[in-house]
Amino acid sequence: MAWLILGIAVFTEICWALSLKWAATIGSWQASAVPIALSFLNMGLLALAMKGIPAGTAYAVWTGLGAVGVIIGGMIFFGDRVNMVQVGFMAMIVVGVVGTKVFGNG
């Protein structure tokens, strides 16, 4: 169950980071409330996941997959450009996350 919660936390992390850019383009206080709400949800889910997963493992998965997800989301929603070298480094992040999960004790 902790891994499912962590997966949802990763998704909210991605939404949170992308909502920051979105809110900056809208420029209203209502749009600024979205990343604030997502931040609380995101932190709560991460804390809940850490009850069943070692903190270092949970944080590595959360930040690693969150970073890759934000890059991909930026490409889809904001037209951000990524070169092949960056794609290679993103792949290494994913390999590191998988390794952390496979060889970790959580």
Q: What is the pLDDT of residues 25-82, one digit of tens each?
A: 888 888 899 999 999 999 999 999 999 999 989 999 999 999 999 999 999 999 999 9
Tell me the two tokens of residue 65: 């997959």
* Of the candidates 35, 10, 7, 1, the residue with the CA atom closest to the CA atom of residue 21: 35
Q: Quickly state the pLDDT bin for 84 (edges 50, 70, 90).
A: very high
- Residues of the chain above pLDDT 90, percent: 80
Q: Which of 81, 94, 87, 69 is nearest to 11 (CA)?
A: 69
Start-to-end CA span in the chain (Å): 12
Cβ(69)–Cβ(14) below 8 Å: yes
Mean confidence (pLDDT) of the chain: 93
- What proportion of the chain, given as a percentage, has pLDDT over 70? 98
